[in-house]
Structure 1
Amino acid sequence: MTPRTVLVVVPTTGGPLRLRALRPRPGLPASAAFAEGDYRPLPWSADYARLAAPGGPLARIPGVAAVPHELRLSGSFDAGRSWEVPVCLAHGLIARGLRLAAEPGEADLVLWATGAVDLDLAILPGDYALLDKIARSRDLFDAAPQAGLAVLLPEGPERAEAERALGALGRARPPVILPAGSVRASLDALTRPDARAPAAPGRRLARTAAMAAGLAVAAGLAGAAALGALHGRPSPEGRAEAPPDPAPQIAAAEPQSLPEPVRETWVAAPALVVEELIAPARSSCRRVAFGADPAERRPVPADGEGRLRASRLAPELCGLAFRPTAPGARIEVGPELRSAALPPAALPDGAQAYYLREGARQNLVYTAQALSATGPPPPGGRLTHALIR
């Protein structure tokens, strides 16, 4: 089967860039990124070299060639990390035998993706200006009206509204959303051979309702069976058809179909509890930080395996508290939060409190870990969390 041709788009707030070429260049001392027609590496080329270096995040994608690569884009930008996800996906698609298109008219599928990754290729949540990037990409979408459109939207404040904006594009085939948890999950969705086309938004709602009804019927049958056994009567029997697959995937031969993202709930017992420190009514974060008033502590809920739901940088959010659940464990918090907070303070229950500095309240993504003093890190001990406006 001929590999599908994919146009990889790198959205920016200045407009979308097209990934024009990605090829091995063993003669280079390290991987490098260039704008089309320019021999000078882009300002963030050193970060790309680290991403593609042996032992770097890209090394975790099976089949990616461990040699320097030349990456060429249709244009340039100065800073930011949202190029990481589309570039990682491009490497993974090539490793799985797909081809990259240089122009919209050559593509069977347009892949529009944005976001930063961690060492394990998990996609970091944050404020990626999704609505602005989508608005500036409309001309590019219109240039490939017959191609499928696959979109990766990281978790963040504009994700839900961005999905609605994509659904309103009026394309012949509705845009579909890739899983946003990790690069590898999105690659699996793009290349799985047994995929089917996703339902349109209205049909998704109907499918969800049908699944809920099916679950209710199953619960009723189970309850009747239990009641019948209790009273010595035979339980009623029935056969229910299997509910529709809640997460259909895209086939390599069918670029119009991609999966509905599966929003997993992390159910493993966490080794680390993270809490927001909230200023009580008629108080302030300054009074909380200096011990005049105690903060209200609100646990941050999980938003997937190893991820916490993003916290809003509201005026009453004074900081975060970290408490290990395993005896003797210690806490390690990433430098992104440490640089934005005062030195950690011990709370009465042993938790560590990081109070935000008044001049450092900005969007950030950090990791926190619970480390055992006697053995390997406990399961569920590494979390990613975002602070967003």
Structure 2
Amino acid sequence: MTDMASQIQKPREPLSIGRGITWLRKNLFSSWFNTALTLLSLYVIWLVVPPLIDFAIIDAVWTGASREACLGPDAGACWPFVWANIDQFLYGRYPSSEVWRVYVVFALGAIGLVPALIPAAPAKRFNLIFLLVAYPVIAVTLLAGGRPGLPAVDTSYWGGLLVTLVVAVTGIVISLPLGIVLALGRRSSMPAIRLVSIVFIEFWRGVPLVTVLFMASVMLPLFLPEGVSLDNLLRCLVGVALFASAYMAEVVRGGLQAIPRGQYEAARAGGLSYWQAMGLVVLPQALRHVIPGIVNTFIGLFKDTTLVLIVGIFDLLGQVRSQLSDPNWSVPQGAITGYLFAALVFWVFCFGMARYSAYMERRLNAGSRR
């Protein structure tokens, strides 16, 4: 029996190699154009990837207490520059004596977010209530302070990854429900609601985010009553959320148009109200269809947080640029190292959102596969 089993399993290796060759021929070398494109891509990878690995890893300087450690003739990335400024990259000029509040906010966010992302995790309702209601209050109270035992910290001292996450998370959390309302309003049978939704969406989609941030930071205070002042970061948060909600509304509207009218009519015939039909029947199907578009909007919003630098708010990328002016770490490769670190952080967050989106697509579409 053992000899028979070994004889049966012998052909498996050639079959796997044959399948690999078949896959390569079908996907990479199926025509002269695909063959040329494949060879060109391999050539570009050969030109870019090995030098990047040499600079970032092999020839990189990993330890050192000053800029002299990175001044060698063949020195690569100056990672001691990142280690020396990692505090500024994480939370900017936040007072060092109060930085524990930033870490508590990060930890509470992770504790609340991880169970929310696990479909099988229990107590989903309480977890969402914590994330959407309790956590924002706790985060604002801790970060801003102004309470007994918590000295006030002005938002002008916030920076780095802290600001990036604050702007991105606020925009994501507000833009999705507001975008759903706008998408429903644009499809409403009531002319006034439809007109207001269309004007709102087209206005915010017709101006660049840079203009929105500039208007919110510079022009808006000119229209406020004398003595009334709004925090600069708060103004930017409102502008980013409204801007993202307009794009989110069009994504959701595309999903709503993909649902047959009969779904809504069947729900209404079953005795459901308009909002029940939308919330229980139509919207779940529509949002499932546009998961890639929703996550793509989230990723774009996360990367667009770097634009807040133009109004004097130092996010992660802005903080990296600010630290490049430090004479103690003025080295030729300092800028490339700092931007490489910022790119890696952004890639980790964006790639994580993309992979979770793909996971949710597979999970939600499992029941519709044949």
Measured against the shorter chain, the TM-score band is: under 0.3
Rg (Cα) greater in structure: 2
TM-score (norm 2): 0.23
Structure number having the greater strand percentage: 1
**Greater helix fraction, Structure 1 or Structure 2:** 2
Which of structures 1 and 2 has the larger relative contact order (alpha carbons within 8 angstroms, sep 6+)?
A: 2
